[in-house]
Amino acid sequence: MREIFHEQSLQTQFMRSGYVRVPMLAPEDTANILQELATLKPDDNFAPQGHGGFDHKFHCSFLDRNVEYKRRAFDLIKSSFEAHIARYLNGYRILSCNFYVKPPGTGTFVIHQNWPTIPNINDTTVTVWCPLQDVVETNGAIQFVPGSHKILPYVEGPACPGYFNNFRQTLIDKYLKPNEMSSGEAMIFDDGLIHWSANNDSDKPRIAIQIACVPADCTPTFHFFDSRHPERFELIEADTDFYLDSDIVDLTRRQPHWKSLGFVENRNRFIDEAEFVALLEQGPALREKIYAEIYNPLKPVTADLESDQASHADTREARATPSESGTEKVTAGPTGFWSHIRSSLPKFFSANASR
């Protein structure tokens, strides 16, 4: 079993809930970062209006097209956080860093899990999320579905929406819980944890830092989805420069300079709320099995995926059902999932064809 935290109490809480809250920055650290941030010049001026197929109204360093800015932001965040993170995490390193800025009156995020960043989706990668001012629900505090990590093997990505696509609003209404935090506190959470944040309805920008951390003994990867081969993902070597030098649109098209590390079977599927509730209830037992496994970087990843998916085989029957609004939901099984992806991709590529 991988020891994620130096402190056993944090490890226990993380395994159960999928996240821990810890003190991270002193007030002077926060002030210094904000002072340096004011000197940075992203192309969107921290207030984007969206572009192409990605209509985002919040600033994210990765989504900005100014590579020089992205590198300066990465260096600032890494130098400010690396020693603090090392106090808590055991054998992890920083992969990527982002500023997230929600201008007043906007910034609702998409409900999601973070993209997997190592080959074995059973192993644990984490995100550190730290606000640079106090946050509450009304100015965009991060919200979690506690215990939603490691309950269903799934790869989310630029062209693959979450497995909860059919009941997103239900997650907001019933399951997501806001976390009020003080400036400089941090949440360290499993990248498989379902999370979201609402609009910033205050009169000031909400600024937060997001840091992706991976086990130091793993090769970082990006799971590339090719609509011509929907049955698989290609594992692309993806260290820090991969995210600094790439635009998100680049990640939807196979780039000739990418280094391939092979392929893994893609068995993504949508589920409904009833199955989600059942998986949440089974979560402790599902995670106990996963955490008990000894991580072996030489073990075939496909075997892991097949084994995990087999444990949920009894819930795979695909069925199209009417939603409350009267429109047809995407079917829960593999056929419905991939037909939904295929129908969505042409719209996206059409929107970005001029790039």
Residue 296, domain CATH? 2.60.120.620
CA distance 138 to 207: 14
Instruction: Judge whether 228 lies within some domain.
Output: yes
Q: Are 84 and 92 in contact (CB under 8 A)?
A: no
> End-to-end CA distance of the chain, in Å?
45
Q: Are 146 and 280 in contact (CB under 8 A)?
A: no
Q: Tell me the pairing of strands 232-237 and 221-225.
A: antiparallel
Instruction: Judge whether 186 lies within some domain.
Output: yes
Least confident of 108-112, 268-272, 299-303: 299-303
Check residue 170 and give its pLDDT: 98
For 267, the token pair is 């068995």
CA distance 190 to 125: 6
Sort 325 into a burial class: Cβ within 10 Å, 0-12 / 13-18 / 19+.
Answer: exposed
Instruction: Judge whether 320 lies within some domain.
Output: yes
Least confident of 98-112, 121-135, 258-272, 291-305: 291-305
Question: What type of residue sits at position 79?
Answer: S
Instruction: Judge whether 14 lies within some domain.
Output: yes
Report pTM.
Answer: 0.84
Check residue 55 and give its pLDDT: 60
Check residue 318 and give its pLDDT: 34
Instruction: Choose between 317 and 336: higher pLDDT.
Output: 336
340 has a pLDDT exceeding 60: no
What pairs with residue 206 in β-bridges? Answer: 102
Chain mean pLDDT for the chain: 85
Residue 202 has φ and ψ, to the nearest 5°, of: -90, 180
> Domain range for residue 212?
8-351
Q: Are 224 and 236 in contact (CB under 8 A)?
A: yes
Instruction: Judge whether 2 lies within some domain.
Output: no
Check residue 1 and give its pLDDT: 67
Check residue 93 and give its pLDDT: 98
Instruction: Judge whether 3 lies within some domain.
Output: no
Least confident of 42-56, 72-86, 197-211, 251-265: 42-56
Instruction: Judge whether 57 lies within some domain.
Output: yes
Instruction: Choose between 267 and 218: higher pLDDT.
Output: 218
For 21, the token pair is 């809250």
Domain count, the chain: 1
CA distance 50 to 32: 29
Q: Are 144 and 193 in contact (CB under 8 A)?
A: yes
Nearest in space to 128 (alpha carbons), one of 167, 69, 87: 87
Assign 299 a pLDDT band (cuts: 50, 70, 90). Answer: very low
